[in-house]
């Protein structure tokens, strides 16, 4: 059947390789939005205080599983927040026990709750060496934090100044460049096939920096790394639809209440868990590559992480525009759902 006539698509159940679930009441409210469609997710550890040790990750995993509504199946894949005081043997033990799937590197000060992140990369070398030895991936927030580097250049500078030297010193370390936003990052991943992959968010496939700033400031499109110019967005779409195994979905769905977003210094983060699969189907359909959605959302991620793809499926069906809510209610206040700016015709029906 020609792609354009397709009205139904069945794919392996997708996974989200970068997700913020928070804790407490917010966790309870947002978890079903992901678990409804996704089988597994890499859970970000930037809680307050952060999830640093194996014991903290195990406790957080238990809270996530306890928050899961009756009848929903979902596997949280936990990460450890890398600090300069992280004990390499704790990381080794967390991996061996199946508690932690990956370690998360935040350069100190790069984004929400990253103050305990890494300033001096030499301090974490023993941890990186152990991870390379045991095959545990490092998930990287790839932005420098220097105040004299323009925010739109921070990803490209990170690749040159931090990532290249780091990977040269530890070539056996598996690295996921998370939420890539630039042609530079796409090229770097394409040109370096060994032990390197990248996640791409739903929103970075859809918005560019004009969406945030042209004709008024739109805080609900503000996230980190900040969306770049249109040429970069196009490069991300090309990578996502290419079928290249090193690119896969990590939504970076990051709930903040409207009160936290809509203020003079609003939080970074876009909440896409609710409508991600509809958004992605639309993007892939418009690009004429619906048949590549399964690789991006369901196959490439598990392959890089050395896990089997889901043996379950979901079905997306095309029809009238899907009436997604503008926001979801939480006990902390409403959380605005990402508005892609176009109708969403695909919905998960099974």
Nearest CA-CA partner of 101 in 66, 126, 131: 131
Q: Is 176 left (phi over 0), alpha (psi -120 to 50) or beta?
A: beta
Nearest CA-CA partner of 162 in 191, 128, 121: 121
Q: Provide the token pair at 88.
A: 């390499």
Task: Decide if residue 276 touches ligand DOR (CB under 6 A).
Answer: no
The CA-based diameter of the chain, rounded to the nearest angstrom, is 56
Task: Decide if residue 208 touches ligand DOR (CB under 6 A).
Answer: no
Chosen from ligand DOR, Zn ion, none, partner binding at 141 (C-beta under 5 to 8 Å by type): ligand DOR
Task: Decide if residue 56 touches ligand DOR (CB under 6 A).
Answer: no
Q: In 178-214, which positions are buried (b, 16+ CB within 10 angstroms) versus exposed (e)?
A: bbbbbbbbbebbeeeeebbbbbbbbbbbbbbbebbee
Task: Decide if residue 269 touches ligand DOR (CB under 6 A).
Answer: yes
Pairing, β 75-81 against β 40-43: parallel
Q: Which of 28, 34, 46, 101 binds ligand DOR (CB under 6 A)?
A: 46
Q: Provide the token pair at 258.
A: 């409207």
Task: Decide if residue 201 touches ligand DOR (CB under 6 A).
Answer: no
Residue 148 annotated as catalytic: no
Is 140 or 189 the residue whose CB approaches ligand DOR more closely? 140
**Strand runs (DSSP E) across 88-195, as ranges?**
100-105, 138-140, 175-177
Task: Decide if residue 252 touches Zn ion (CB under 5 A).
Answer: yes
User: What's the min distance (Å) between Cβ of 3 and ligand DOR?
Assistant: 32
Task: Decide if residue 139 touches ligand DOR (CB under 6 A).
Answer: no
Binding mask 246-265 for ligand DOR (x = CB under 6 A): --------x-----------
Q: Which of 12, 92, 95, 141 binds ligand DOR (CB under 6 A)?
A: 141
Pairing, β 313-318 against β 346-348: antiparallel
Provide the binding-site residues for ligand DOR, judged by CB under 6 A: 20, 46, 111-112, 141, 223-224, 254, 268-269
Provide the binding-site residues for Zn ion, judged by CB under 5 A: 252
């Amino acid at each position: 059947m020609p792609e354009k006539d397709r009205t139904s698509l069945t794919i392996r159940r997708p996974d989200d390789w970068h997700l913020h679930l928070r804790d407490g009441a917010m966790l309870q409210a947002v978890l079903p939005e992901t678990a409804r469609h996704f089988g597994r997710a890499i859970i970000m550890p930037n809680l307050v205080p952060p999830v640093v040790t194996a014991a903290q990750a195990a406790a957080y995993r238990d809270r996530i599983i306890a928050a899961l509504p009756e009848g929903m199946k979902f596997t949280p894949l936990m990460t450890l927040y890398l600090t300069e005081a992280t004990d390499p043997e704790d990381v080794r033990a967390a991996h061996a026990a199946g508690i932690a799937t990956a370690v998360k590197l935040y350069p100190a000060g790069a984004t929400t709750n990253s103050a305990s992140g890494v300033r001096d990369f030499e301090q974490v070398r023993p941890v990186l060496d152990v991870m390379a030895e045991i095959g545990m991936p490092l998930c990287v927030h790839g932005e420098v934090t220097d105040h004299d580097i323009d925010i739109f250049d921070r990803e490209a500078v990170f690749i040159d100044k931090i990532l290249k030297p780091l990977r040269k010193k530890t070539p056996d370390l598996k690295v996921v460049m998370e939420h890539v936003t630039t042609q530079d990052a796409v090229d770097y991943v394409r040109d370096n096939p060994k032990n390197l992959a990248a996640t791409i968010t739903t929103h970075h496939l859809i918005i560019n920096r004009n969406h945030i700033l042209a004709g008024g400031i739109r805080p609900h499109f503000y996230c980190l790394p900040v969306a770049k110019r249109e040429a970069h967005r196009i490069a991300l779409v090309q990578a996502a639809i290419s079928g290249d195994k090193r690119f896969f979905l990590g939504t970076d769905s990051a709930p903040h209440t409207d009160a936290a977003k809509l203020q003079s210094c609003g939080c970074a983060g876009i909440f896409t868990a609710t409508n991600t699969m509809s958004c992605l189907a639309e993007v892939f359909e418009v690009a004429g590559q619906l048949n590549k959605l399964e690789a991006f959302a369901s196959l490439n991620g598990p392959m890089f992480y050395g896990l089997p793809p889901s043996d379950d499926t979901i079905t997306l069906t095309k029809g009238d525009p899907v009436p997604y809510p503008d926001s979801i209610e939480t006990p902390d206040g409403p959380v605005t759902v990402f508005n892609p700016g176009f109708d969403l015709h695909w919905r998960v029906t099974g």
